[in-house]
Structure 1
Amino acid sequence: MKILDWYILKRYLLTFTMMLLLFVPIGITVHLAEKIGKILDSEAPLPEVLQYFLDFTIYFANLLFPLFLFLSVIWFTSKLANNTEIVAFLSSGVSFTRFLRPYLIGATVVALFSLLLGMFLAPKASEGFNWFTYTYLKKNKKDRDNSNVFRQINDNEIIYVSSFDDNTNYGRNFTLEHFEDNKLSYKITATTIRYIEEDTIFKMSDYVKRTIGENEDVFERLTSKDTLFDFNVADLTPPIYAAEVLTYGKLKRFIEKEEARGSANVGRFKLVLYRKWSLPVSVFILTIIAVAVSSIKRRGGMGVNLALGICIAMVFVFFDKVFGVMAEQSDFPPLVAVWFPNVIFGILAGYLLYNAKR
């Protein structure tokens, strides 16, 4: 690797690191100012509070990772352009493609770090962050999607409840259908169902069991019935943030399980899975856009490049959020929602790079 490569690569990695070290403490300070009252009121133990802010640091860095990278590349490349260093490089016979090579090497290093962060470190931090949030800061708020739960719990049984309160373990309009050889064998309905944690049983009211017979059906009716089932409360109402706390392998198995159960949150879970791969790819796209935008010396200096870069970054984040919400709230394919911003901005990167070469 030549002097030019080392020079730009060190600037790339050092500026990105400094950007993280600059903005992450600011994010922590703002978050602390916002939550300090609730933290004091919750009387959370000091070690758990410290762990919470450590988890928040990783969670926050992973959340705004592309934005930090984009601004850091624009910052130091604009400085190179203002100091006419880029003109000197290109005037010496170095092609723009050759000038871009150390940036791509740096993007590879950052993308590998992003992959490691998304696959293993961020899920662990997200687990601690969300656990503390819903344990101490949002005690009365729901962390689950508890309405119209419909899912297949095993190969033979499907359950449904119109609503379920995980604070009281109480549900309404419960139905269980049992199949044998793809034929309905029996069906259980109850007006209410409640999980008794002390006895690890389910208590139902207005219990009706209809067993399908060859000639006629057999009904069993009880005012109240206690029994065991092959599912538990955690399976019935998984937390909304469940996918965020799982490593890649566990997340794939979790999604397969939720798909078999007919979970309504599969789209949300797949978004998390696909973003683990799309984020490292976006590192390369944003790096190329940042270099193409900021390698030209403009009137107004570095401020113009930064303003233009911030506008592009905000549009990227806007696209990512809008399509993410569409996938969560509708039948819009999660794969398209995750990769569409990368495709659009990949085309933009190619266009800007072509003009920068000229």
Structure 2
Amino acid sequence: MNMFKYFDRYLGRTVFIGTLFALFVLFAIDSIIDFINDIESVDDRGFTFGHVILRLLFEMPQRLYEFMPTALLLGALIGLGGLAAKSELVALRSVGISKLRIIWSVLKVGIVLIGISVWVGEMVVPTAQGYANSLSKSQVRDVNTDGGKGDIKKISLRSKYGIWVRDNDRYINAQEIYPDYRMRDVWIYELDEYYKLKRASFAKQAVYENNVWKLSSIKHSLISKSGVETVAAEEEHWERLVSTELFDVITVKPEYMGAIKLKKYIGYLNDNELDSKRYQLAYFNRFAVPLSGLAMLLLAVPFVFRSVRAGGLGQRIALGIGIAVIFNLISKVLSNTSVVYDIPPVVGAFLPTLIVIAVATLALRKMA
């Protein structure tokens, strides 16, 4: 039994090292491409070399999450393929290590690495990607809050209390801000010429439609020497509140949101009879992406035992990249198709992974 555990650790360590190597290569290639694209914008509207580096760092968690399935595939092909090329897998089989045990040893490593990537995707990516977006064009403080019709305004930093925007004598705080020009739980504070609070307003939501902001379930508190007067309205239309440019800079796309936040927002959209397919697709992808990592590992094993045994490192990497490119292409096509042609989002999210699992299962059953 101890011998089998030793072989489990040996196989797991081999795949783990191969996966780390693949992640490093994927990180390096993608970062270099982004660096070259961003470096051309240095000195444009205050965008500096430091912003380029910071943005790359903030995008690393998302890269880890996105690249993990491909890295697992490459890691298995590199690691197990290297063992096969040196006939070590044959030696393991000769001492009683079954192919099922080899597969399980590989999957255990995959489960651990996928667990780490899921934690990063849920807990780190949304916040980090928000900061990365704020650095992708210029410093957040340079965003024009009146839609380009007036002077440059400033907004303060993001915090756990939401987004703060300053527009002349108004300070606006939104607890939730979404890419479709929608904000929830919006506070608007207006000051007089002596910088004293004269009115505080709260709106349950604010939506930008037809060049106006529609504020619903709004309540105003008018502050004067005589006291506080409260006025409520079902809906109000404001010509100016927050620039739509702000959404391009600091909002996090559905693909980068955590599953809990996506689920909450989908419920909100459905309750208000609004289109939620894009967010449903992103929600189901939060589960399909980790599953695709395990599917890639399963797919790598029969290739190792069959066609990669005599191949070199370059051949194994080329094979893995080819499989990953085809998989990602199919995933993108099905995702876009599901949104455009009213296909259930769960199908668009899971079908590519299920195809890989089916192919891997058939290949594993045909293994000698």
Give the secondary-structure state (helix, strand or coil) at the position aligned to 2:366: helix
Q: Is the deviation greater in 113-122 or in 327-336?
A: 327-336
Could you tell me which residue of structure 1 aligns to residue 239 of structure 2?
A: 194
Which residue of structure 1 aligns with residue 277 of structure 2?
A: 267
Contact 2:55–2:135 at 8 Å: present in 1 too?
yes
Partner of 2:67: 64
Deviation, 1:321, is 0.8
- Distance of 1:160 and 1:47 partners within structure 2: 34
Match of 2:99 in 1: 96
Question: Offset of 1:335 from its aligned partner?
Answer: 0.8
CA gap 1:263/1:100 in 2 versus in 1, 3 angstroms: same
Match of 2:356 in 1: 345
Q: Find the partner of 2:88 among 64, 72, 85.
A: 85
Could you list the runs of 5+ residues in structure 1 that have no partner in the other structure? Answer: 150-156, 165-169, 177-186, 198-231
> In the alignment, what sits opposite 2:296?
286
Query: How much has 1:194 moved relative to structure 2?
Result: 1.2
Code of the aligned partner of 1:313: A
* Pick aligned residue for 2:262 from 251, 254, 276: 251
Alignment of 1:31 with 2:76, yes or no, is no
Displacement of 1:82: 0.8
Partner of 1:216: none
Tell me the distance in 1 between the aligned counterparts of 2:354 and 2:241: 51
Q: Does 1:42 align with 2:45?
A: yes
Matches within 5 A, 1:1-358: 2-44=5-47, 48-133=51-136, 135=138, 144-145=179-180, 163-164=210-211, 170=212, 194-195=239-240, 241-264=252-275, 266-296=276-306, 298-356=309-367, 358=368
Taking a change above 3 Å as real, the CA distance of residues 282 and 5 of structure 1, as seen in their structure-2 partners, is same
2:198 aligned partner: none
Secondary structure of 1:195's partner?
A: coil
Contact 1:145 1:239 in 2 (8 A): no
Aligned residues: 296
* Normalised TM-score (structure 1): 0.70
Determine if contact 2:134/2:249 at 8 Å carries over to the other structure. no
* Displacement after TM superposition at 1:344 (Å): 0.9
| Change in 2 beyond 3 A, CA 1:189/1:117 | closer
Once residues 58 and 97 of structure 1 are traced to their aligned partners in structure 2, the CA distance between those partners, rounded to angstroms, is: 33
Deviations 1:69-106 (A, max 9, x none): 21121111111111011111112222111222210110
* Gap regions ≥5 residues in structure 2: 148-177, 183-203, 217-233
Question: What amino acid is the match of 2:120?
Answer: L
1:98 and 1:161 map into 2 onto residues whose CA distance is 57
In the alignment, what sits opposite 1:182? Answer: none
Contact residue 39 and residue 52 of structure 2 kept, 8 A: no
User: For residues 18 and 56 of structure 1, what CA distance do their matches in structure 2 show?
Assistant: 19
Over 3 Å counting, the alpha-carbon distance change for 1:82 and 1:299 in structure 2 is closer
What one-letter code is carried by the residue in structure 2 that aligns with 1:83? K
Change (3 A) 1:87 1:19: same
Q: Quick one: distance in 1 between partners of 2:345 and 2:29?
A: 32
Shift of 1:332: 1.7
Q: CA deviation at 1:158?
A: 11
Whichever residue aligns with residue 304 of structure 2, its letter is S
Please state whether the residue corresponding to 1:258 is helix, strand or coil.
helix
Q: How big is the shift at 1:238?
A: 12
CA contact (8 A) 2:131 2:250 kept: no
Distance 1:134 1:326 in 2: 30
What displacement does 1:313 show?
Answer: 1.8
Distance in 2, Cα, partners of 1:111 & 1:343:
17
Describe the SS at the equivalent of 1:263. Answer: coil
Corresponding position of 1:223: none
Q: Percent identity between the aligned chains?
A: 21
Change (3 A) 1:242 1:94: closer
TM-aligned CA distance change 1:294 to 1:8, over 3 Å: same
Name the SS of the counterpart of 1:40 in structure 2: coil
CA drift at 1:347: 0.6
Going from structure 1 to structure 2, the CA distance change for 1:160 and 1:59 (only over 3 Å counts) comes to: closer
1:51 CA drift (Å): 3.0
Distance 1:301 1:237 in 2: 45
Deviation digits for residues 18-61 of structure 1 (CA, Å, limit 9, x no counterpart): 22223313322221111112133131366654432211222223
**1:11 offset after TM fit, Å?**
1.0
Q: What TM-score does the superposition give when structure 2 sets the normalisation length? A: 0.68
The C-alpha deviation readout for 1:98-117, integer Å capped at 9, x for no partner, is 22221011011112112212
Deviation at 1:305, TM superposition (A): 3.9
Query: Which letter maps to 2:79?
Result: F
Question: Per the alignment, do residues 160 and 262 of structure 1 end up closer, same or farther by CA in structure 2, a change over 3 Å counting?
Answer: farther
